[in-house]
Structure 1
Amino acid sequence: CREDLVRLAGGGSDFVAVTFTGSGTAAVEAVLCSAVPREGALLIVDNGVYGRRMVQIAKAHGIPAEVIRLDNTTAVNPGDVEARLSARPELSHVALVHHETTTGLLNPVPAVVEVAAHHGRGVILDAMSSLFGEPLDVGQDGLDFAVASANKCLQGIPGVAFVLCRRSAVEELKGREPRSVYLDLYSHYAAQEQDNTPFTPAVQVFHALRQALAELEAEGVEARIKRYSENARVLREGMARLGFEILVPEGARSSILTTFRLLPGLTYEALHDQMKRRGYVIYAGQGEIRNVAFRVSNMGTLTPADLEDAVAAFEASLVELGIQRRVP
């Protein structure tokens, strides 16, 4: 599985995959608590729930962190990253989320990585819900660690997460005093390089990961990205006809998840129940947008025809609820 993960992600010979039995957060925490040296500090981009989780992880491990705080619909400005790195030489790494599923926001990863590389800093990227679903140059100079899991765009099941590591970056961790036992990135890397594991793996989930990789190989990474993009187009055009507005500005939207504003007079609970009766599950907005928005994802084996059916279900739900469509 490790070799296939690197190959399909386009990492090349400079990269190696390190797997963890655990959720995606386990792998994110492993990188944060392992990669930042004792004398170093983190620059974290916080524009969603998962950026804030990185802040929580850093605090729990006593890692000094400077935080660029933005609202949940605003992508980071690479110029702000440049300014912080210029002002604080002790910031050894930049940590950010590529695709914030809080809202469906995409951060401009290539530009941020370029800035970090110019300043000689490494980037730790949470690519949990973007790898294999959005264009991502894993091998870009400066991107040292990209974290993802089996159960997002890879279309596997939960329980396995992995880190695509630049080999030189993970080798630098050798001999460093770990902040964690189970989540020490280097110990997992060293054991896996010897075809071993430091702890008991979830074998059944790795078998599912192998199958998911085979299915990705059969479809093709570019084809999957294209299918997700077409799914998103069909969904968004259909929802626009029903009067729904997208929370995230155009140009910062992913092709994987969309957050729509609730129509006047429509509650999330009422819409959720109507859609569930029709065989669909929608998610509430996270955090402060919970009562004003809802989320729809189009990842997985869905096709554009499936999204057309979903739009029809939304329309039927509005009719039954007596909600007047607001056509832009």
Structure 2
Amino acid sequence: MAFHFSREDKVLVINGGSFGKRFADLCDIHEIPHVDLKLKHGKKLTKEKLYEYDNQGFSGLLVNVDETSTAVLYDTLMIGEFCKKNGIFFVCDCVSSFLADPFDMTECNADVMITGSQKVLACPPGISMIVLSPRGIKRVENSKPKTMYFDIRDALKNQERGQTPFTPAVGILLQINKRLKEIERMGGADVEIARVEAQASDFREKIKDMSFELVSESPANGVTSVRPKNANAYDIFLILKDEYDIWICTNGGKMKNEVFRVGHIGALTHDDNTTLVNAFKDLQRRGIL
């Protein structure tokens, strides 16, 4: 497993939805002792809840910073302080929050940040990016991985010669390079984060008087998780797709019929929000919403 947690470790997993659960599943597969800090869908992690796990011998903590299934943004500064106090190795999955929400590895004492080529970078999926703190690098260098194709120590060694251990998805790397230059040209990370935040705020303002409620107590910028008050969420997804040529995102599992999600990343504008909201209003006129 990444960062080589072992059976000698004890890992705390922040589990507030289907994406957080994947960390728990990884621990199960690799037989890593772990405890799930379970939260109800949409609920933010409070300091009081987190510190119920204080001084319990945890050596690692895994969190999906934007719990994408419910659009809950976790407080990494608070979690980082908890990890620092307890000497815990802090791993942040930022796939959905990278360049959508403020995040500073040094400020929150994160040891590892993981993201991907999709989401805000708006490139095809296929490239994972891992950023290590000095403590993270030391942990990798002192580990003995039992994998050939996901050996971070080997990747770091190959970086010394400007290469990767195996042939990567070169085309996607070129697209990432171009996209990063575009973000820099437009003003940098802070400007991109502000753009995504504005897109999210515009959508939420436009639906505030409609028959929806927001799921998240601590909304992330990259996505809005919406619960229709008087309709089936999956039916809305199908109607928008089939009759309006508009794609929103479904949820899985128990939330399939209760919640849908609307993204605010990539090449989207306020006009796109208006198009979607107009479709919602049409569904209201038709008695579907």
Taking structure 1 as the reference length, the TM-score comes to 0.82
1:293-308 equivalences under 5 Å are 293-308=259-274
Q: Tell me the residue number matched to 1:311.
A: 277
Distance 2:233 2:23 in 1: 31
Q: Tell me the residue number matched to 2:226.
A: 260
Q: Tell me the residue number matched to 1:159.
A: 126
Task: Indicate which of 217, 225, 232 corresponds to 2:184.
Answer: 217
Q: Tell me the residue number matched to 2:167.
A: 200
Distance 1:105 1:70 in 2: 11
Unaligned runs of 5+ in 2: none
1:1-328 equivalences under 5 Å are 29-31=1-3, 34=4, 36-37=5-6, 39-88=8-57, 91-140=58-107, 142-219=109-186, 220-249=188-217, 252-266=218-232, 268-319=234-285, 321-323=286-288
Deviates more, 1:269-278 or 1:52-61: 269-278
Distance 1:204 1:154 in 2: 14
CA contact (8 A) 1:135 1:225 kept: yes
Query: Given residue 276 of structure 2, which amino acid in structure 1 is its aligned partner?
Result: A
CA contact (8 A) 2:113 2:131 kept: yes
Deviation at 1:275, TM superposition (A): 4.7
Aligned pair count reads 288
Deviates more, 1:190-199 or 1:129-138: 190-199
Map Cα deviations across residues 262-303 of structure 1 (whole Å, 9 max, x no partner): 242455224532354333101222321111121111111212
Query: Given residue 279 of structure 1, which amino acid in structure 2 is its aligned partner?
Result: D
RMSD: 1.9
Query: Given residue 158 of structure 2, which amino acid in structure 1 is its aligned partner?
Result: A
CA contact (8 A) 1:266 1:323 kept: no
Deviation at 1:200, TM superposition (A): 1.9
Map Cα deviations across residues 203-251 of structure 1 (whole Å, 9 max, x no partner): 11111111121122122211111111111111112112222111222xx
Distance 1:59 1:271 in 2: 33
Q: Secondary structure of the residue that 2:107 maps to in structure 1? A: coil
CA contact (8 A) 1:283 1:294 kept: yes
Distance 1:209 1:203 in 2: 10
